[in-house]
Amino acid sequence: MKTERGASNVREVPAAADSRGNVGRSSQRYAAVALISLALFGCGGEGDGTSGSSAGTQAAASAPVGTQTSQDGIKHTQSTDSAPATAILNKMGRVPRLQVGLGAGQSTDDMKAQSIRPDIIDTYLVGVGQNAWPSWNTDGAYVTYTAQRVQSFGATPMFTLYQMASNGDGNLSGINDANFMNNYWSQVRLMYQRINDLNTSVLVNLEPDFWGYVYAQAPNHDPAQLAASVNNQQECSWLPNTAAGIGMCLVSMGRWHAPKALLGFPPAFWNAGPDVIGKEMQAVGANTADFIVAQTSDRDAGCLEAAAVGECTGRTGPFYLDENNVQTPNFHQQQNAVSAYRDALGNGLPILWWQTPLGVPSDTPGGTPGHYRDNHVDYMLRNPWEYGAMHTFAIVFSGGGTYSTSINTDGGQFARLFGQYLSYGGVGVQ
């Protein structure tokens, strides 16, 4: 169990399911894309600590991706909106600088103890039916209480909707089951209604993992060919009864019930490169959302290196990114992958990096539970202008597993680097 603390009205809730964080790499030679995709972001694991989809070996079926890089090796793209990151921050009512947030497993009490005041706080909503998130407080009030607590802390609320994993990791049998989907849509509607009652902007991350499984299991990898129960819902009556329709309906319900909600889709690059997945996510309506959720990584690199606990086994490295951006994998490759996806998706949406590991840099591979090495916090908070320049509006840090490093076990790294970032006023975004 994971205890959400900081509001007496909020009860203890089930631990958030782990999320995959798999992004491929934009490269002029696609043959390297599949290997670097897995090296940069792994294949994820959920609940039982299983490894990712076996379809990850199918990436070579995709077409080559071309990139244009600046002299520093970072790809910069043109947007239909000259400053999409600034535009979404205006909608959020936030200052026009790169926002820094914290997610699942980091309580506000823990933040207060280190004088950490993040710009965004992310919370999972999991389950369908009995014991699902609407039952954690009466009639979905968990959303209300959580958001109010986050707002009182000076942060923007973010919710990660993770309902599709209710039948098990990768089990898509429920999407064409009318009873399951009626419950599913009822909860989505309730979430949006609760968000609307707040009368403020709230970020919503729509179904991590699910879209990767859709790609892997849909006929011809086409979500429009995978049957699903959709258009028996009033808000989605004109949409197709397919997995593509599910994505469109998530957006339609949001626009219908919570016009101030800001919606983002998290692509999963387990089995194809960013260009191919961009086209898949266009089909599900991700280009009509408000932002892109770039899944940074679901585990500390050291946990994957040690492979001593189930949730970190079954993957092939290397996992630790080269901060000098010379060796593979490295941070510029990770950035290029997300930029390539953004190009393929179209519409010039801003980017939020999500589930970014909290581990501490080390020359020694591995580590121990809660103390695994990783260098995302160190690199991203020391080089924030690289992210602001690629239309990133926020980076949200959190561990994706039970044994991940947290702000309570990182030796004060996050508090120190975030404090330094704020001390010079942060960096602008485009």
CATH number at residue 329: 3.20.20.80
Report the pLDDT value the prediction gives residue 104, as an integer from 0 to 100: 78
Number of domains in the chain: 1
Report the pLDDT value the prediction gives residue 12, as an integer from 0 to 100: 33
| 218-237 per-position pLDDT tens digit | 999 999 999 999 999 999 99
Examine residue 163 and state whether it is found in any structural domain, yes or no: yes
Domain range for 221 is 31-423
Examine residue 10 and state whether it is found in any structural domain, yes or no: no
Whether residue 44 is predicted with pLDDT greater than 80 in this model: the reply is no
Whether residue 162 is predicted with pLDDT greater than 80 in this model: the reply is yes
Helix (H, G, I), strand (E, B) or coil at 169: coil
Compute the distance between CA of residue 286 and CA of residue 227 in angstroms, rounded to an integer.
Answer: 19
Compute the distance between CA of residue 229 and CA of residue 221 in angstroms, rounded to an integer.
Answer: 19
Compute the distance between CA of residue 242 and CA of residue 222 in angstroms, rounded to an integer.
Answer: 10
Report the pLDDT value the prediction gives residue 36, as an integer from 0 to 100: 36
Compute the distance between CA of residue 250 and CA of residue 23 in angstroms, rounded to an integer.
Answer: 23
The fraction of the chain above a pLDDT of 70, given in percent, is 81
User: If you average pLDDT over residues 377-391, what whole number do you get?
Assistant: 98
Question: Are 324 and 260 a contacting pair, CB within 8 Å?
Answer: no
Q: Looking at this protein, which amino acid is placed at residue 67? A: T
Helix (H, G, I), strand (E, B) or coil at 166: helix
Compute the distance between CA of residue 209 and CA of residue 161 in angstroms, rounded to an integer.
Answer: 11
Examine residue 285 and state whether it is found in any structural domain, yes or no: yes
Whether residue 20 is predicted with pLDDT greater than 50 in this model: the reply is no
Report the pLDDT value the prediction gives residue 81, as an integer from 0 to 100: 56
Whether residue 52 is predicted with pLDDT greater than 80 in this model: the reply is no
Pairing label, strands 261-265, 367-368: unpaired
User: What does the H/E/C string look like for 227-247?
Assistant: ECCCCCCHHHCCCCCEHHHHH
Whether residue 15 is predicted with pLDDT greater than 90 in this model: the reply is no
Examine residue 283 and state whether it is found in any structural domain, yes or no: yes
Examine residue 12 and state whether it is found in any structural domain, yes or no: no
Between vectors from CA 74 to CA 53 and to CA 278, what angle results, nearest 5°? 40
Compute the distance between CA of residue 47 and CA of residue 380 in angstroms, rounded to an integer.
Answer: 28
Question: Are 270 and 358 a contacting pair, CB within 8 Å?
Answer: no
Write the CA distances from 218 to 24, 57, 226, 239, integer angstroms.
20, 16, 5, 18
Whether residue 68 is predicted with pLDDT greater than 60 in this model: the reply is no
User: If you average pLDDT over residues 104-124, what whole number do you get?
Assistant: 95
Nearest C-alpha neighbor of 362 from the set 377, 346, 380: 377
Q: Beta-strand (E) ranges in 67-226?
A: 99-102, 120-126, 156-162, 202-206
Question: Mean of the per-residue pLDDT values for the chain?
Answer: 85
Examine residue 4 and state whether it is found in any structural domain, yes or no: no
Report the pLDDT value the prediction gives residue 136, as an integer from 0 to 100: 97
Question: With the C-alpha atoms ordered 428, 120, 375, 84, is the resulting torsion angle positive or negative?
Answer: negative
Backbone phi, psi, residue 44, to 5°: 75, 170
Whether residue 302 is predicted with pLDDT greater than 50 in this model: the reply is yes
Q: pTM for this one?
A: 0.85
Report the pLDDT value the prediction gives residue 79, as an integer from 0 to 100: 39
Nearest C-alpha neighbor of 187 from the set 121, 244, 142, 240: 142
Question: Are 264 and 203 a contacting pair, CB within 8 Å?
Answer: yes
Examine residue 87 and state whether it is found in any structural domain, yes or no: yes
Whether residue 102 is predicted with pLDDT greater than 50 in this model: the reply is yes
At 211, list the tokens. 């879209």
Helix (H, G, I), strand (E, B) or coil at 179: helix
Q: Looking at this protein, which amino acid is placed at residue 15? A: A
Examine residue 8 and state whether it is found in any structural domain, yes or no: no
